[in-house]
A and B are shown apart, each in its own frame.
Chain A
């Protein structure tokens, strides 16, 4: 599971990432990292809040604690980061996120991403403002 934020896709910027001043880039990377951190934490909380039978609570707890995010990297026109799950219960995330024939999707990661969209946009605005000072 990964979220990548495509700088080109943001209407507010109206420019390719290569055209952004070099001194602004670290601020943008920081803004992306902040969002990745928040998405990771929200995904963890969302998983912990899923109502489950007692037998699966322990597994979900381990899964929630296995949430990690990658430090953002600049790859051509995008800044890429990932929110992932590691450890023995990592396989569970697919079932919880997308559901199975016997249980519906819970979308903990999707919801976490959606919940942070506004803050992400605001973070990018601030990063650009900080970068041109």
Chain B
């Protein structure tokens, strides 16, 4: 029985958090408000989003799905554009070519497939700047 696809995401999250610089800053899916004041979390912080990827058959003759392509987005949020870029740069260095090792899966190295320009979010007080990078992870069931 292959391990779940969530384990792939978990592995990447653990890899990011494995760098002490990022450990306390990483959030998955959404960003919690500050507990004491309910105000938006102060920058810097990192938000990771992902899907579970479509299940695909690599051979026409195959009766089972053998492969998935997981999309992962890593967003760096800073107090200004420069800080957002600084964190994004550190994250890219951490993730580029990282090859997850997960039971039940044979994974490719992460591929950096997209990068967004820095934007500001003025709805936040104080406003923050953010940029994100997209990675693809191909995993085959073993």
List residues of A whose CB falls within 8 A of some B CB.
94-95, 97-102, 104-105, 107, 110, 114
The number of inter-chain residue pairs (CB within 8 angstroms) is 49
List residues of B whose CB falls within 8 A of some A CB.
29-31, 40, 47, 49, 69, 71, 73, 75, 77, 113-114, 116-117, 119, 121, 123-124, 128, 130, 132, 134
The closest CB in chain A to the CB of B51 belongs to A107
Known: A94-B119, A95-B119, A110-B134. A101 touches B114 (CB 8 A): no
Bound complex: CA of A95 vs CA of B130, how far in Å? Answer: 10
Bound complex: CA of A129 vs CA of B55, how far in Å? Answer: 31
Task: Establish whether residues B73 and A100, one from each chain, have CB atoms under 8 Å apart when the complex forms.
Answer: no
Chain A residues whose C-beta falls within 8 Å of the C-beta of B69 in the assembled complex: 114
Cβ contacts A to B, 16 pairs, < 8 Å? A94-B117, A97-B116, A98-B116, A98-B132, A99-B75, A100-B75, A101-B31, A101-B77, A101-B121, A102-B31, A102-B121, A104-B30, A105-B49, A105-B73, A105-B132, A105-B134
**Residue from the set B30, B69, B73, B77 with the largest chain A CB neighbour count within 10 Å:** B73
Bound complex: CA of A114 vs CA of B111, how far in Å? Answer: 14
The closest CB in chain A to the CB of B30 belongs to A104
Chain B residues whose C-beta falls within 8 Å of the C-beta of A94 in the assembled complex: 116-117, 119
Task: Establish whether residues A104 and B113, one from each chain, have CB atoms under 8 Å apart when the complex forms.
Answer: no
Bound complex: CA of A107 vs CA of B113, how far in Å? Answer: 12
Chain B interface mostly: strand
Task: Establish whether residues A98 and B114, one from each chain, have CB atoms under 8 Å apart when the complex forms.
Answer: yes
Bound complex: CA of A22 vs CA of B47, how far in Å? Answer: 48
7 further A-B pairs in the complex, CB-CB below 8 A; given A95-B119, A102-B123, A107-B134: A98-B73, A99-B73, A101-B40, A101-B124, A107-B71, A110-B71, A110-B114
Smallest beta-carbon distance A1→chain B, Å: 8
List the 3 closest pairs (A to B, CB-CB), nearest first: A98-B116, A104-B49, A98-B132
The closest CB in chain A to the CB of B124 belongs to A101
The closest CB in chain B to the CB of A94 belongs to B116
Smallest beta-carbon distance B106→chain A, Å: 19
Chain A residues whose C-beta falls within 8 Å of the C-beta of B49 in the assembled complex: 99, 104-105
The closest CB in chain A to the CB of B71 belongs to A107
